[in-house]
Amino acid sequence: MADIFEMTKAELQEFLVANGMKKFRADQIFHYIYKQGITSWDDMVLLPKADRMKLNDVLPIYFPEIEAQQEASDGQTVKLLLRLHDGQTVETVLMMHDYGNSICVSTQVGCAVNCAFCASAKNGFVRNLTAGEMVAQLLAFRKNVTAELHSIVIMGTGEPLLNYQNVIRFMRLIHQEDTFYLGYRNMTLSTAGIVPAMYDLANEKMPITLAISLHAPNDELRRRIMPIAEQYVLRDVLKAGENYFNTTGRKVTFEYILIKDVNCTIACARQLVQLFAGKNILINAIPINDNYDVGLYRPSSAEIDMFINFLKKHGIPVTLRREMGTKIQAACGQLRIKRDK
């Protein structure tokens, strides 16, 4: 099934000509979609009526419906639960920062990686999203919330590198001048550490930021938190991350969920120092969102400060992620599960 949202302008031009329409109509269509947020053929009134009727038949637009919308009380976080053409639902989140708006994009319906702290996989993996369904997440915010977009983080539901081709196509699409014209340096992709795909990503020559979900400083603990660590051991994940830096020149970020009595200890911090001393990396520490009952809990502020300060004292670059959206269940999978129940 052809999807307008995963077509480049050149591909749309070919499609139009093949269906007896004028090539230049692609310019008008892209302007309607990406500049005006119009996602219905009937509303694209500059197109001849005959063209609109034909396009409804040969290239129907399946724009997701908003199943639910939540907004934080401070107005800085908005979460949409979108219903797709096949009835499946997927979440996406807009976060408003001082530097601009960032959208967290999902890449799958459900997730097969099943990290202990995440709600995304609790109802299992269903299917990959298409590139067009990822583009539609951005368009949903442009149409219903705001047209301003500074950056994206591919950190929503799903493991992006297990949907590799669609995710790469999505990033290339939104980089184009006639769509969102988003710079690659304004894109971040988060992975649980799919080692072969990390090498492939480095060779794509797209200078995006790579964020690797670390969450533990050793294989034994990492396997408890992330089952995928049974397949990809820490040594190989770190080696693939180093290759990404050497190939692209882009500093790799390591995400580290802080979990009380599990990995937010001085013993773990000491092991992180041993792993990363002298490396050109960044650790992004993230207190666990314990709004969803996964049996894991947030450390106290004192425990978090002790952990962070130990790393800083020993020269490890670390930031504590600003928490956004905890009151609206903005963590991956939470709204979808609540709605399904």
Q: Catalytic pick from 111, 118, 268, 332? A: 332
Distance CA 246, CA 71 (A): 40
For the chain, where are the E strands, in sequence order? 65-71, 77-83, 89-97, 100-104, 108-109, 127-128, 151-154, 187-191, 209-213, 252-258, 281-287, 318-320
Q: Which of 171, 167, 169, 149 is nearest to 159 (CA)?
A: 167
Residue owning tokens 């089952």: 227
User: What is the per-residue burial (b if ≥16 Cβ within 10 Å, else e) of 265-281?
Assistant: beebbebbbebbeebeb
Has 14 been annotated as catalytic?
Answer: no
Retrieve residue 37's tokens: 């947020």
Catalytic one among 6, 91, 159, 255?
91
**What contacts 208, CB < 8 A, 6 or more positions away?**
171, 184, 185, 187, 188, 189, 250
For the question of residue 242 being annotated catalytic, the response is no
Q: Give catalytic residues, as residue numbers.
A: 91, 332
